[in-house]
C-alpha cells in the first residue's frame, strides 16, 4: 500500500483502499478477514509534513476463547502518524511510532505495517462469542451454551487441600 507523496496536494487529501488477507500480510491464525478491509486515510499535507489519520473497518471470524465456536466480529481500528521530510531533519533525530523522519528524496511511503499493526492491536485479549458465554465443560467437553451436563465441578483450590482434610476430620 504505497502512497506516492509527491501526488498529495497541499491541504487535505483523501485516499481509500480495500485490502484482503494476503495483501495485508495477515496470517489466518492471527486474524481471518471475512471480506476485504476498508481503509480510509485523511492526509493533511503542510509543506514537507504529512499528517496521516486512518480508519480501518473489517469483519473477522475468530474462535471464541471459551466455547471454541467461530463467530463474526467487527473490527474498527485507527492509525495516526506524521511523516516529516523537512530539510532541518538531521540523522541524529529519533523516529518513533507516531512521528517519522524520512529523506527528502523519498518518493513513496508504504503504510502496510501501520495498518496491519493497528488491526492486530485493536483486538481484545480474549474474543468471546457473547459476554455471557458459558464455554466448554472442563470434565466432559460439552458446549454449555447448547446443552447442560451433570458434571460436578469442584471450584476448590487444590492448595487448600490440607485445610479441607482437617475440617472433614
Whether pLDDT at 67 is above 60: yes
Alpha-carbon gap, residue 95 to 113, rounded angstroms: 15
Amino acid 104: pLDDT: 87
pTM, two decimal places: 0.77
What percent of the chain clears pLDDT 70, i.e. is strictly above it? 93
Residues 6+ positions from 27 with CB-CB distance below 8 Å: none
Alpha-carbon gap, residue 139 to 16, rounded angstroms: 50
Whether pLDDT at 69 is above 60: yes
Instruction: Please list the residues that pair with 19 across neighbouring strands.
Output: 37
84 backbone dihedrals φ, ψ, rounded to 5°: -125, 120
Amino acid at each position: 500500500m504505497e502512497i506516492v507523496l509527491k501526488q498529495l496536494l497541499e491541504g487535505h487529501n483523501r485516499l481509500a483502499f480495500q485490502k484482503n488477507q494476503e495483501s495485508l500480510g495477515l496470517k489466518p491464525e492471527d486474524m481471518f478477514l471475512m471480506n476485504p478491509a476498508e481503509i480510509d486515510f485523511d492526509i493533511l499535507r503542510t509543506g514537507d509534513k504529512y499528517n496521516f489519520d486512518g480508519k480501518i473497518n473489517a469483519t473477522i471470524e475468530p474462535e471464541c476463547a471459551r466455547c471454541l465456536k467461530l463467530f463474526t466480529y467487527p473490527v474498527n481500528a485507527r492509525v495516526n502518524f506524521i511523516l516529516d521530510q523537512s530539510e532541518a531533519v538531521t540523522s541524529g533525530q529519533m523516529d518513533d511510532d507516531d512521528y517519522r523522519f524520512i529523506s527528502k528524496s523519498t518518493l513513496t511511503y508504504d503504510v502496510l505495517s501501520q495498518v496491519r499493526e493497528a488491526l492486530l492491536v485493536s483486538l481484545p485479549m480474549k474474543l468471546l462469542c457473547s459476554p455471557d458465554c458459558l464455554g466448554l465443560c472442563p470434565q466432559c467437553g460439552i458446549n454449555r451454551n447448547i446443552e447442560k451436563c451433570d458434571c460436578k465441578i469442584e471450584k476448590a483450590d487444590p492448595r487448600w487441600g490440607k485445610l479441607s482434610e482437617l475440617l472433614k476430620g
